[in-house]
Chains A and B, each alone.
Chain A
Amino acid sequence: MGLEQILQFVITGITVGSTYALIGIGFNIIFNATEIINFAQGEFVMLGGMFTVFGMQVLRLPVPFAALLSIILVAFVGLLLNMLAIRPIRNPSPITLIIITIGASIFIRGASSLIWGKDPYPIAAFSGEDPIPFFGAVIQPQSLWVMGVVFAVVVALRQFLNRTITGKAMLASAFQPRAARLVGIDTPYMVLLSFALSGAVGAAAGIIIAPMSMVTYDMGVMMGLKGFCAAIVGGLGHPFGVVLGGLILGVMESLGAGLISSGYKDAIAFVILLLMLFFRPQGILGKGRGERV
């Protein structure tokens, strides 16, 4: 096992890990605003891929437009999820919200399998397939897309939350809903916005993953769960923690698959999740939260 090979595993891991991070960011947006874990987040990712395939192959749109269309559509699905399934609940307890979002994810998956069938859809890489040599290992051009998009989303999200009035209002209503209402912030609207934003980020993840791992109606389950692991490992609600968590998961998984056994690849993320929950449930970067009665 040469160093080049290890390097190759790390590069693959960083690429995959970036997508986990992006999915985890989607979880975080809703969690920060509402303390809801949205189990339909993986379905946003799948829909992002599906709508892109639809835009490119049926409507014959160029990649950027297909991607934009997909992001808008999935953001709309996020809105619908909030308006149709979350808002009508009379007394939202964590258990009710978990069940509702799981119900929504199953419903979306079932609908997708009826609409698009069960076959996987391949999609071409955005800028060719010629690998770029890198210290004896290679980088796929799509990997650069993945890392670039994740970086762009993180920066844009940070700017949005810290620099714009809407972003600040969102942070405020997430942090202290009652106080936010008192100063005139429309908190239900902020929650709605967080669902749309989370849908858009999920779609972005689906779009960049699509060329690497074909689009299927049931890809959302695993993707959602991995993103979820990334969010927990990094620290639920902590923006940079999620990126760190995603990268750690991706690299560990890739090394594990290469050095130990590819069959247990998916188990690695969940073993890390369990260990994290047992020993440091607030995540690597998260701080201990005060209990609320």
Chain B
Amino acid sequence: MKLLRFILDPYARFALFALLIMGLPLVVTNEYYLGVLVVIAIHSIIVLGLDLLMGYTGQISLGHASFYGLGAYITGVLSAHWQWPPLAGLAAALLIVAAIAWIIGVPTLKLHGHYLAMATLGFGIIVFIFFNELGSLTGGPSGLTGIEEMNIFGVTFDSDREWYFLSVSFLLAVLLLSINVVRSRVGRALRAIHGSETASGVLGVNIARYKVGIFVLSALYAALAGWLYAHYITFISPSSFTFMFSVKLVTMVVAGSLGSLWGAIFGAALLTSLPEFLFVFNNYETLVFGFILIVVMIFMPRGLLRGIEDMFKWLWHAARKAPPTSRPGEERS
């Protein structure tokens, strides 16, 4: 029982998870696989933010690829044109994205239902068009080259192995922050809003402020991921930040498990690695993503990870409630 309680404690889980992924390069030495893991870590950071927004607060964003793209392009343009160091680029990206997310969030998050989805969708497409059209700044459809390699306080990151530790450190920091958000008063307020906006409003929760706050936070996660991505690949083009990518991010949250941080990482890992390892998958990619979205929503509305968890819980309870297979008396006779 003690062991069970230990596993259910989020911080113990976090410590275990941290140990596990920090030790992973001992097993995975192939540079290509490490590269895939870097991308998974980057995607996980965005999906964690999106999960705080969708899973905990019940608001949907169909434009998170644009915040990811803005993070990447702001640092990319500053680095390629004016040789800003990556950390300065990060500061600029976070500041600008926070401002933009706030400007989008304040008017739309006061509304209910579909409006945030529509506003973020429209915003995502506008941003995508600007990436394409501001050719002199962004390189247009053919992309932006000349982004400098990651350099933090004089340390250069240029192998996939170093990148693995860098991106995973950021992932762990973001995960820890998210665990704290979820467990704090803020997290409780967010779940209350998800449950019933009217009821939580009556109880004195400042709904609009919390919704805008979590929206800005999730946009900041995406911007951070974009910053990592730009300096990892050192080349960015608009095709990485399309509406379809926003939908993929939503798929990751939904498939992983709405409202479970571990599920978010699981979903990001699953849907990022699938196309990498299955070459056949390529032509069927859109088909499969659509299928996953529908099937998970219908049969496992709580997501794959929660679905598996529920199954185990059910088995556990079934095993405890079921009458013992042989009665003590019978055994002796």
Contact = CB atoms under 8 A, between A and B. Distances in A.
Contacts of B283: 113-114
B89 to A, nearest CB: 26
Interface residues of B, number: 47
A103 B284 CA distance: 14
Contacts of A183: none
Contacts of B117: 37, 98
Interface string B103-129: 010011001111101110111011001
Interface in B183-199: 198
In this complex, the member of A99, A225, A228, A273 whose beta carbon has the largest number of chain B beta carbons within 10 angstroms is A99
A281 interface: yes
Contact of A270 (B54, B122, B291, B301): B122
A114 B290 CA distance: 14
Contacts of A266: 125, 129
A95 B301 CA distance: 11
B60 A95 contact: yes
B133 A264 contact: yes
Contact of A88 (B247, B292, B298): B298
Given A95-B54, A99-B250, A102-B247, A281 B290 contact: no
In this complex, the member of A89, A95, A229 whose beta carbon has the largest number of chain B beta carbons within 10 angstroms is A95
B235 interface: no
A79 B243 CA distance: 27
Nearest to B299: A88
Contact of A263 (B58, B108, B121, B132): B132
Interface string B228-265: 00000000000000011001001100100000000000
A110 B285 contact: yes
A100 B294 contact: yes
Nearest to A236: B114
A293 interface: yes
Contact of A106 (B62, B118, B286): B286
Interface string B132-158: 110000000000000000000000000
Contact of B113 (A94, A96, A221, A225): A94
Interface string A243-275: 000000000000000000101101100110110
B64 to A, nearest CB: 14
Contact of B125 (A94, A225, A293): A225
Contact of A107 (B62, B115, B290): B290
B114 A111 contact: no
A81 B292 CA distance: 15
Contacts of B243: 221
Interface in A56-96: 85, 88-91, 93-96
Contacts of A95: 54, 58-60
A204 B122 CA distance: 25
A37 B114 contact: yes
A89 B288 contact: no
Contact of A111 (B119, B254, B287): B287
B311 interface: no
Nearest to B54: A95
A117 to B, nearest CB: 10
Contacts of A103: 251, 289-294, 297
In this complex, the member of A89, A91, A102, A291 whose beta carbon has the largest number of chain B beta carbons within 10 angstroms is A102
A105 interface: yes
Given A100-B293, A221-B243, A291-B112, A85 B298 contact: yes
A281 B251 CA distance: 27
A144 interface: no
Contact of B133 (A261, A274, A279): A261
B130 interface: yes
A278 B294 contact: no
Contacts of B111: 277, 281
Given A113-B286, A225-B125, A281 B293 contact: no
Given A94-B113, A99-B60, 6 more contacts: A37-B117, A102-B250, A105-B290, A106-B293, A107-B287, A270-B123
Interface of B: 54, 58-60, 62, 104, 107-108, 111-115, 117-119, 121-123, 125-126, 129-130, 132-133, 198, 243-244, 247, 250-251, 254, 283-294, 297-298, 301
6 contacts: A99-B293, A106-B286, A106-B290, A229-B122, A277-B115, A277-B118
